[in-house]
Amino acid sequence: MDIETAANFGEMLGGLAILFTLLFGIRQIKQWNETLKINSARDVASHISSQQIQYAIVVLVNEIKDDVTFEEYANMSRKDKDAINALIIGLNTHGILVAKGILALELVALFYQQFTIGLSKRLRKLHEIMMQNAKDKIGSKHISEIQPLEHMIWLLDKIDEMPVISPPK
């Protein structure tokens, strides 16, 4: 084998090595994205299956009415309010992650839609109460500037717009 043929052969092997490296890299990226989705789903599932969030859902169903007043909310036990706060802040956090494209809306809706169908109005009313309380404590100018918990409302709107997700048959 002459030197030119050997150089061409070496160049071909180098090209194949680069091609296999690219294919392996694409496979790794695809696998990493899949792992990210699985971990995101696990995080949402872990949040919604926690005792405090389950307790908040029970409180929303049994204790809070659609037209709950500020006084009724203020008179709730600290445990009830803490659970409700955890649910609302969790929904807001998931709303932020969906809005930024980190979580898929379909994934979050899969976990929350079964609850938001009947409880969305109560969650929105609690949002109003919490915003009024924050305005009273912090000042309306500051609250208007930062708009706390608005991602929860955005997420509820998006989930409400989606068709009802049915379980597999």
Residue 162's pLDDT is 92
pTM score, whole prediction: 0.77
Whole-number Cα distances in Å, 92 to 24, 108, 125: 38, 12, 15
Looking at residue 68, the DSSP 8-state letter turns out to be -
DSSP state of 165: P
Pair 63, 80: CB distance under 8 Å: yes
Written as tens digits, the pLDDT of the chain (169 aa) is 788 888 888 899 898 999 999 999 999 999 988 888 888 888 999 999 999 999 999 999 999 988 899 899 989 999 999 999 999 999 999 999 999 988 999 999 999 998 888 899 999 999 988 888 777 777 666 666 667 789 999 999 999 999 998 888 8
Q: If you compute the radius of gyration of the chain from its CA atoms, what whole number of angstroms results? A: 25
